[in-house]
Amino acid sequence: MNIHEYQAKQLFKLYGIPVPEGSPAETAGHAEQVARELGGNAWVVKAQVHAGGRGKAGGVHIAKSLDEITEFSRKLLGTRLVTQQTGAEGLPVETLYVEKAGQIDREFYLSALVDRGSERVIFIASAAGGMDIEEVAEKTPDRIISFQVDPAAGLQPYQCRKVAFAFGLESTQFKSLEKIMAGIYKLLLEKDAGQIEINPLVTTNSGELVAVDAKINFDDNAVAVHPDITAMRDPGQEDEKEHKAQQFGLNYITLDGSIGCMVNGAGLAMATMDLVKLKGGSPANFLDVGGGTNTEKVAEAFKLILADPNVKAVLVNIFGGIVKCDVIAEGILAAVKEVSVKVPVVVRLEGTNAEAGRTLLRESGLNLVAADDLAKAAEQVVALAEGV
């Protein structure tokens, strides 16, 4: 799960990481009021979307007057911001963040993330931070350093010194960097973040270190145990279908193909998608209704698939182990009562209560294609999606 920059900066503050003073605003009037309360004569207005690359996309504006803030806010609020990281549709700008503009001397890159390969937290740092970090990574990767943190020993002062050296900091700035890195590490562990990124971390003209941008991503499986993080969720920034699926405890990912797949178990879901591909089709989604599912969940899952205009045919592939096939059938029928099925549906039910499930579907009068062989089911659904 991602959160907004202004929320990440609230967490930074709690963990002793210095950030510019600022507040979120949802109207142009409020944005101006925030600036007035902050005082000073230069502010930065920043679109709050769950994506980076805002600066280059016109989502960050340095304003020298209150009028400029109002003008920029009016122009941006209610639009969709398209950045290098959003895809062509962009993300809705419903909130702005207004903060004091700092006098930036140099911009660095600093992040920490959970590296699954080494099963360690790693830090990544570069003196060449700022808006072109992707280019730095591609063209001059030697300008980026990284190191692992031993979980038993924790972050070590020598590791912070390594970063300070790479940044070319003065010795007087070392303590401040060490505090920032310790804050990042603690925040990452305590809140189960997957990645925390500061780009840029800057030195100001007076030599202070400040996090001017803040990005945090959390492990979806851990968010539930952190009510403060859960409260930061912004569904407006998330894929609507994926968000709905999450509410029902379904594992759902939108893909760009034409065959909707409803499957139980992540392994079977992967195998089903592979098979669809093998037969020349392309899945519209990954959906695992889970092991111990119920009628309501299945109904919601089926409705989600049918609501996708890209879906030209549906493949239901259930192996009843813990889940019973008649429960799946009832779920499908419950969904069909609420929404009409305009696309062909191929159903393969196998395992516990498979026969009862098939009977339910057969007697429902629905136009379903029953299949008892998975390879054949995949072939059929691909053909039906292509209108063959």
Q: Name which of 98 and 347 has its Cβ closer to ligand ADP.
A: 98
CB of 255 to Mg ion, least distance (A): 29
Is residue 220 part of an annotated ligand binding site? no
Is residue 29 part of an annotated ligand binding site? no
Burial label, 39 (beta-carbon count in 10 A; 0-12, 13-18, 19+): exposed
How far, CA to CA in Å, does 94 sit from each of 24, 81, 198, 215?
10, 10, 23, 18
Residues 97-116 that bind ligand ADP (CB under 6 A): 99, 101-102, 104, 107
Q: Contact 202/209 with Cβ under 8 angstroms?
A: yes
Q: What is the DSSP letter of 343?
A: S
For Mg ion, which residue of 99, 213, 234, 288 counts as binding (CB under 5 A)? 213
Would you give the binding string for ligand ADP spanning residues 127-146, x where CB under 6 A is met? ---xx---------------
Is residue 208 part of an annotated ligand binding site? no
> How far is residue 383's CA from residue 388's CA, in Å, rounded to a whole number?
5
CB of 63 to ligand ADP, least distance (A): 11
What 3-state DSSP class applies to 275? helix
Contact status: 199 vs Mg ion (CB under 5 A): yes
What 3-state DSSP class applies to 282? coil
Contacts of 227 (CB under 8 A, 6+ apart): none
Strands 313-320 and 345-351: parallel
Q: Name which of 104 and 222 has its Cβ closer to ligand ADP.
A: 104
Which residue reads 């995949």 in tokens? 378
Give the range of 195-203, 288-296, 303-311, 317-325 binding Mg ion by CB under 5 A: 195-203
Give residues in contact with ligand ADP (CB under 6 A). 20, 44, 46, 52-55, 60, 99, 101-102, 104, 107, 130-131, 199-200, 212-213
User: Residues at the annotated binding site?
Assistant: 46, 53-55, 99, 102, 107, 199, 213, 264, 321-323
Give residues in contact with Mg ion (CB under 5 A). 199, 213
User: Residues at the annotated binding site for Mg(2+)?
Assistant: 199, 213
